[in-house]
Chain A
Amino acid sequence: MTATAEEKTVHNGAYGPVRRKEDARFIRGQGTYLDDIQLPGMLHGAILRSPLAHARITSIDTSAAEAHPKVRAVITGRTLEGLKLAWMPTLSHDVQAVLATDKVRFQGQEVAFVVAEDRYSARDALELINVTYEELPAVADATRALDPDAPVIRDDIEGKTNNHIFDWEAGDKAATDAVFASADVVVAQDILYPRSHPAPLETCGSIADFNKVTGQLNVWTTTQAPHAHRTVYALVAGLPEHKIRIVSPDIGGGFGNKVGVYPGYVCAVVGSIVTGKPVKWMEDRSENLMSTAFARDYHMHGEIAATRDGKILGLRVKVLADHGAFNGTAQPTKFPAGFFHIFTGSYDLQAAHCEVTGVYTNKAPGGVAYACSFRITEAVYLVERMVDVLARELDMDPGELRMRNLLRPEQFPYTTKTGWEYDSGDYPRALRLAMDLAGYDDLRKEQAERRERGEYMGIGISFFTEGVGAGPRKHMDILGLGMADGADLRVHPTGKAVLGVSCQTQGQGHETTFAQIVAQELGMSPDDIEVVHGDTDRTPFGLGTYGSRSTPVSGAAAAVVARKVRERARIVASAMLEVSPDDLEWAEGKWRVRGDPDKGHTIAEIAMASHGALELPEGVEGHIDAEAVYNPPNLTYPFGAYIAVVDVDPGTGAVKVRRFVAVDDCGVRINPMIVEGQVHGGLADGVGMALMQAIAFDTDGNCLGGSFMDYLLPTSMECPSWELGQTVTPSPHHPIGAKGVGESATVGSPAAIVNAVMDALKPFGVRHADMPLTPAAVWSAIQGRPLRTDMAFT
């Protein structure tokens, strides 16, 4: 669906920094999050988890727990085996244990589920379950997972004799090798993107209410994708889909953590079936960090080839991907490494090639989560570090090196060497703007002066291209479901409208933005449009909110359905005005008679007439409501240029992010206030990722990031006051020219900060150190002994 120039320029003022509708309830403490919901007679579930990373279960004795006066049920893997629910399919062609039957394969894995009358009693009863384990050697270090003597984690898979999951490649290997063979300069670097966790402030939970008489299953749950969950429950549990209703209430942050179906959700359903009562399961923070979808854990070896004068020729990379104990990446692409092969980034290269090997380890499953656009985070980090490594080798300014190699505006639409069709962009303009906003030349002068004084200031640049809005059917699906989103729009007789959408806000402000989209198309006020979401009984089918796909897909559907309503209104208006529809024009929020602008009707007037006594013309049945489904023809490709300025204390290794300049281009901005807020949040993620956040393990597989005492998130003290800029390059194929933006800053910012720290450490000869650049990591790098940040200190 291509937007015409006219459609993009029609503007009635509905776009802009409209204050959010959803604030009214949140600032009064009247949001309704999952744990706020109490149903009559509701019971509470709690999960017993494995203390060991790898062990065979020899026995489970639940008798003492069952004898607890407030316990209603104790469910184990054996119970689930009887229901054929002990294992569930993942979105990546694997299975995951719901409750362990044979072995536990990571610390924190689900072993038993207790249902009790209150949450404290449920926890008490966990202590009464006696599990005996036969401990097995664990694989916590991904680089050892394929050793010949490594213990086989997935012996549940018939014939499995190692921990290998997949090998996958993209790009032209022969062409890339040829480019490298003849290049003046080749630089290689090992780069780890350590395991991280999205850690939304609200943990995951679910309330299941199964009615044995009607067969109806109602589930209130923390999901970013209610419709996808409904279908998954139907497929997994064999329940009829028309008897399943999924409600996603207010969500306290998602960031990709609330995409998949977790064992606790399935246990709540089974608990309700077994007890005949609604069952709530709400995980605690440690359960969230230790068992739900982690992110990244990519061990990358990058190589970059260039001419001596700084023309980048080629890029190749080998990745060891740690997927944990089950291949449970919740990502819809047909590629096992997601969108990682977008790793050529924003540059004009001659050839590129990547190889990714996935392995099992005794760690929690996941990998694709946390605002990563299905591994574009890792890809951008890789290429932006490699460009800086090259700049160091060539003794060139990293800004100048990037400017010399960025794609030029006239090259768009551009097909990359790994097959991506970038829709639009003006990269040099964005980078120039960022450098101007930062005062780049002055910063370099200041840095030189400070170095004279023995002060270690660093300036880091990152330029990213994102691909968001999953997605075209040729590239992606979820369990065979294409990724189209529906929208329906009802205009009530008095001219107030209700828009139903399938995507699910977790703080993105959809109730405001989507009202603005419809308002813009129909000449209405956003106040007159209610946006309904998060309830499969009240909204049309669609695949949910993740991968920055809401505006690219559901937002497009909202615009398209509003245009359908507008066209139906045109027919009614023609009857009201007694002219041919062809004689009407849409202007200033009305269907007007061409050449007679005083004669016209608003959507509200037309809606009333369509319900009223008017003799209806052919093609209108009685109202102007409409439905639409949007199938994205391509992804949208937002981009941006980020510059970080840091100060490093060489005595302690402490890094202070002094400034951060972010120029984002996400096409047309519906609500710039909300866009900027999303960028702010993603930049904070970048600070966290670069300097603080990582989930490491010891060699026995003990998780070292199981609470906020150990897994450090950025606070107001680590974050600078963000300095934002923007350029606007509309997406040519999106109905309103918009691109997704929710993940841009999380994807783009870590490299800017790491590049800045490496720039600061240049006098020490430090070219690379892995995230998170904690004081210990920086100090060790200065001493010439870089840390492995994915494993416990040894």
Chain B
Amino acid sequence: MQITVNVNGTDYARDVEPRLLLIHFLRDELGLTGSHWGCDTSNCGACVVWLDETPVKSCTVLAASAAGHRVRTVEGLEVGGELDPVQQGFHECHGLQCGFCTPGMMLTARWLLDHNPDPTPEQIREAISGQICRCTGYENIVRSVRWAAEHEAAAQESGQEVPA
């Protein structure tokens, strides 16, 4: 079947099997291999991407279901050569080791900060509770998201002081 999906701002038209999973569409059809496949059962969250404005587990979403929608992946976090504060936070706070869960974790973190710019560690833990990391024991992921929250707040504050 013919579908068009907008991924990170670009429309992609492809002829796909109706059963094709979104994760395989992104990885195999578009070559966007930053999103990973980890479990098939919506438990691990390595495949988390945004469908329109919501994080979803793309191993249990059909590519066909994404037709006519916007998808945001890890490749769309960096804008204009500028890393998202979440990406910077994961680097600064050692929020990743093998890196396999990292794209999904960062996309959930970005969503959280868009809806709650100053989350508590408990709120961060709850936000990422549907995703598994086997390396970090989560503590440094929580710190990474806090780092991003604090730097976004600081950037906003300094931005407000400078008249537009």
Interface residues, chain A, with chain B CB atoms under 8 Å away: 19-20, 22-33, 35-36, 38, 119-120, 199-203, 250-253, 255, 284-286, 506-509, 673-674, 676-684, 707-709, 713, 715-717, 719, 721-722
* CB–CB B40/A29 < 8 A: no
* CB–CB B36/A719 < 8 A: no
Residues of A within 8 A of B125 (CB): 716-717
Residues of B within 8 A of A251 (CB): 98
Q: Please provide the chain B residues from 134 to 162 with a CB less than 8 Å away from any CB of chain A in the complex.
A: 134-142
Instruction: Label chain A's interface by main secondary structure.
Output: loop
Residues of A within 8 A of B73 (CB): 29
* CB–CB B99/A26 < 8 A: yes
Residues of B within 8 A of A680 (CB): 136-140
Contacts A680-B136, A719-B139 given: A201-B36 contact, CB under 8 Å? yes
For the complex, give the distance between the alpha carbons of A120 and B16 in Å: 12
0/1 per residue, B103-118, Cβ < 8 Å to A? 1001000000000000
* CB–CB A683/B38 < 8 A: no
* CB–CB B134/A200 < 8 A: yes
Q: How large is the interface on B (under 10, 10 to 19, 20 to 34, 35 or more residues)?
A: 35 or more
* CB–CB B35/A719 < 8 A: no
Contacts A252-B36, A507-B97 given: A201-B138 contact, CB under 8 Å? no
State whether the Cβ of B46 lies closer than 8 Å to any Cβ in chain A: yes
* CB–CB A201/B100 < 8 A: yes
Tell me, rounded to whole Å, the shortest Cβ–Cβ distance linking B133 to chain A: 7
For the complex, give the distance between the alpha carbons of A605 and B33 in Å: 42
Residues of A within 8 A of B41 (CB): 285, 707-709
Q: Taking each of A120, A251, A252, A285, which has the highest tally of chain B beta carbons within 10 Å of its own beta carbon?
A: A252
* CB–CB B140/A27 < 8 A: no
State whether the Cβ of B128 lies closer than 8 Å to any Cβ in chain A: yes
Residues of A within 8 A of B139 (CB): 680, 719, 721-722
Residues of B within 8 A of A255 (CB): 134
For the complex, give the distance between the alpha carbons of A120 and B23 in Å: 13
Residue in B33, B92, B133 whose beta carbon sits within 8 Å of that of A29 in the complex: B33
Residue in B40, B100, B141, B142 whose beta carbon sits within 8 Å of that of A284 in the complex: B40
Residues of B within 8 A of A20 (CB): 91, 94
Tell me, rounded to whole Å, the shortest Cβ–Cβ distance linking A511 to chain B: 12
For the complex, give the distance between the alpha carbons of A658 and B84 in Å: 33
State whether the Cβ of B131 lies closer than 8 Å to any Cβ in chain A: yes
Residues of B within 8 A of A677 (CB): 94, 97, 135-136, 140
Q: List 10 A-B contacts (CB under 8 A).
A: A29-B35, A33-B33, A120-B19, A201-B134, A203-B38, A255-B134, A676-B94, A680-B138, A715-B131, A721-B121
Residues of B within 8 A of A676 (CB): 94
Contacts A708-B44, A715-B131 given: A202-B126 contact, CB under 8 Å? no
For the complex, give the distance between the alpha carbons of A25 and B98 in Å: 11
* CB–CB B137/A23 < 8 A: no
For the complex, give the distance between the alpha carbons of A408 and B121 in Å: 40
For the complex, give the distance between the alpha carbons of A94 and B40 in Å: 33
**Beta-carbon nearest neighbor of A22 in chain B:** B99
For the complex, give the distance between the alpha carbons of A201 and B35 in Å: 13
Residue in B35, B100, B124 whose beta carbon sits within 8 Å of that of A202 in the complex: B100
Residue in A202, A673, A681 whose beta carbon sits within 8 Å of that of B38 in the complex: A202
Residues of A within 8 A of B97 (CB): 253, 507-509, 677-678, 681
Tell me, rounded to whole Å, the shortest Cβ–Cβ distance linking B26 to chain A: 10
* CB–CB B78/A28 < 8 A: yes
Q: Known contacts A22-B99, A684-B138; can you find 17 more A-B pairs with CB under 8 A?
A: A27-B87, A28-B83, A29-B75, A29-B77, A35-B36, A201-B38, A201-B134, A202-B98, A250-B98, A251-B98, A507-B96, A680-B137, A682-B137, A715-B131, A716-B128, A716-B141, A721-B121
Q: Please provide the chain B residues from 4 to 27 with a CB less than 8 Å away from any CB of chain A in the complex.
A: 17, 19-20, 24, 27
* CB–CB B136/A681 < 8 A: yes
* CB–CB B94/A721 < 8 A: no
Residue in A119, A674, A719 whose beta carbon sits within 8 Å of that of B137 in the complex: A719
* CB–CB B132/A28 < 8 A: no
For the complex, give the distance between the alpha carbons of A36 and B37 in Å: 10
For the complex, give the distance between the alpha carbons of A27 and B148 in Å: 14
Tell me, rounded to whole Å, the shortest Cβ–Cβ distance linking B65 to chain A: 17
Residues of A within 8 A of B130 (CB): 715
Residue in B40, B96, B128 whose beta carbon sits within 8 Å of that of A26 in the complex: B96
Tell me, rounded to whole Å, the shortest Cβ–Cβ distance linking B135 to chain A: 5
For the complex, give the distance between the alpha carbons of A32 and B83 in Å: 20
Tell me, rounded to whole Å, the shortest Cβ–Cβ distance linking A527 to chain B: 15
Q: Taking each of B103, B134, B141, which has the highest tally of chain A beta carbons within 10 Å of its own beta carbon?
A: B134
Contacts A200-B98, A681-B136 given: A709-B92 contact, CB under 8 Å? no
